[in-house]
Amino acid sequence: MSALIRACLSLMLALPAMSLAQSNPSTAAPGLAKLDIVPPAAKRVPKEMVNHGDKRVDDYFWLREKDNPDTIAYLKAENAYTDAVMAPLKDFREALYKEMLARIKETDQNVPWKKGGYWYYSRTEQGKQYNIYCRKKGTMEAQEEIVLDLNKLAEGKPFLSLGLYEISPDGKWLAYSLDYTGFREYSLYFKNMETGEVLADKIDKIQSAAWANDNKTIFYVIEDKAKRPHKLLRHQLGGKNDELLFEEKDELYRLGVETTRSQGYVVATSASSETSEVRVLDASKPAGAFKVVVPRKFGHMYSVDHHGDRFYIVTNDKGRNFRLVTAPAVNPAQKTWKQMIPHRKDVLLSGIDMFEEFFVAIEQKDALPQLRMLDINGRGYAMKFPEAVYTASAGMNAEYKTDTYRFNYQSFTTPSSVFDYNVKTKERKLMKQQPVLGDFDPTRYESKRLWAKAKDGKKIPVSVVYRKDKRATGPQATHLQGYGSYGYSYPVTFSSSRLSLLDRGVVFAVAHIRGGSDLGKQWHDDGKMMKKKNTFTDFINSAEFLIAEKYTTPGQLTIQGGSAGGLLMGAVVNMRPDLFKAVVSQVPFVDVMNTMLDASLPLTVGEYLEWGNPNEKKAYQYMRSYSPYDNLEKKAYPAMLIETSLNDSQVMYWEPAKYVAKLRTLKPDQNPLLLKTNMDAGHGGASGRYDYLKEVAFTYSFILAQHGLAK
């Protein structure tokens, strides 16, 4: 440990926020330092809370005080401690970073996409953190116009995120939004792409926006103090006194606005996780009034797209997995609906992509995505894909009048690929595959779909990948990830960085557990609310399956999850700490009770339909039984790396900070417990591509060290 780090630690540990822990100094883990100092310990300020007769005492509630110097001092002390423990891995971490960077084509360009008379694309330049957004008129041989250079916009700032990138129908104006903190608080700007002028118009707390066909009217949605998008307004370029068109007052609902690909309608959708209500406006009549398609009814989810004189409506009125109906645009009431695609128990209809002469049904079947190419009357076929485990999704399709459908394809072994599919000739053309520099050979790797068995007999999809010549005849190092919330289907994606694990003999696996929609909406329903514990037991059963199948052992199994996946990590290590060697928990949602009892926080009220409303006793008791923070105990825990960001607006930094502070007072083992806080980022971590890659190298160095493979 360097003298500088030691001095830094000594100074921070002396601050009033901390006291010396009453425990032995940490013992060396594989590749980590054995320190002659104790980790930081946050001061204890008991806060008593009573709900439904249940008393909880939170010693670290004060860490919510972001402006309190003691809070920042504690986070910095934890960072310094983590840096000191990880110091022996510095050279290895730097080597990992260079190894990962060497696989990336630093100066590169994405596949151009057409809108109106222009081709749009973004590119990167070696040494620059951010994308440069460009366009060319008519042909890719034309002179380049730089639309937005994020590198220039980010000068002197530690963080930058581009949100909206909305081009007016005539190609003259760009509406774009920027966040400079990581708190996902975006401001909207308007740029004349012909002159380069940025208007004085600036709209703060923007969430979504949509152009009308007059090229000067834009509809936008702003958020409230709890970051809930709730107001729809109309704005004229250069004008003031924007008109409020609709306010969503029900805190369960979030509002969004977009223009259909046909440019026929502006669509404003108000939705909770269980119910939606859609309003539409003729995009050629921007001064008009929005009209409700179908009034909201609890449990009815629907979305609307446009074609000719009809709306195409994806609805769950006849089943949880949705069906497709059409209705006259002049009178889309439910009594006018005509079915085109029926509800199917084994297929989830996630949505549709509508074009002038065809449309694409985006579906999920057997825990795999599928794209079905259909004519306007609903006749067609599903695309075939070459691998047993993959991800296929819609690409950038801005043009309504086209014969070509762009889609993205990748797998654990196939780099991200962009295809153009001609619906008339059925020709599939590879436009670009993510370059992987060096000696990457996809035939060296093998991916599989396995099926674990849940405690109630359900079959859990588990996707695995490994390097063939590194696959041992018996158990070996294995890294398992999961999420299992919000109906999010965990995609099987390629990562050039992940090769640094595979090439060192680590088996990588994903458990597609309940709480996601990998096997349809019922898979989601069976992993939320009062069935949430299925998510945790599914993950445990998946880990046990990998052990039973001789892939690994508890001493060779590391796990990882982020956000709601961090809740998963916290829950499973409370339930089965003996099952895992080490845990990486990123921006983890671990303080379930305090967060869900605080309606002023972003996302809380809207998530009552995912987790339950703890103001109701039955829901409170169930959530209380699995909340990671509230169920920490005096027992041995695996090695842990907890990563968070100070400006996270989705899972506040204090959740992981409190979790670590409390766990330090309980765990009797000598396994490392590390908290790493990015002081300049939000929920997604660092914004610059090089900074982000350094974060990945940091995380991977910890994982590989736990496997004894830090070399």
Give catalytic status of residue 683 as yes or no: yes
The β-bridge partners of 622 are none
Tokens linked to 130: 């951010």
- Give the integer Cα–Cα distance in Å for 701 and 643: 14
CA atoms lying within 13 Å on the CB side of residue 711: 6
- Give the integer Cα–Cα distance in Å for 622 and 52: 12
- Would you state the torsion angle of the CA atoms of residues 523, 630, 698, 443, taken in this order, to the nearest 10 degrees? -20
Give catalytic status of residue 512 as yes or no: no
- Give the integer Cα–Cα distance in Å for 174 and 189: 8
Tokens linked to 129: 């953190």
Q: 366: Cβ–Cβ under 8 A, 6 or more apart, which residues?
A: 346, 461, 519
Write the burial class of residue 307 (CB in 10 Å: 0-12 exposed, 13-18 middle, 19+ buried). buried
Q: Which of 353, 538, 591, 648 is catalytic?
A: 648
CB 428 within 8 A of CB 417: no
User: How far are the Cα atoms of 5, 24, 34, 35, 587 from residue 1, in angstroms, in the given order?
Assistant: 7, 18, 10, 8, 27
Q: Which of 161, 208, 447, 563 is catalytic?
A: 563
- Give the integer Cα–Cα distance in Å for 389 and 491: 10
Q: Which of 230, 307, 524, 683 is catalytic?
A: 683
Give catalytic status of residue 648 as yes or no: yes
DSSP H helix total and E strand total for the chain: 13, 38
Write the burial class of residue 595 (CB in 10 Å: 0-12 exposed, 13-18 middle, 19+ buried). buried
Write the burial class of residue 3 (CB in 10 Å: 0-12 exposed, 13-18 middle, 19+ buried). exposed
| CA-angle at 152, arms to 149 and 155, nearest 5° | 145
| 354 phi and psi angles, rounded to 5 deg | -105, 135
3-state SS, residue 175: strand
- Give the integer Cα–Cα distance in Å for 278 and 313: 10
- Would you state the torsion angle of the CA atoms of residues 60, 65, 69, 71, taken in this order, to the nearest 10 degrees? 40
- Give the integer Cα–Cα distance in Å for 678 and 79: 9
DSSP codes of every residue in 498-512: THHHHTTT-EEEEE-
Active-site residues: which are they? 563, 648, 683
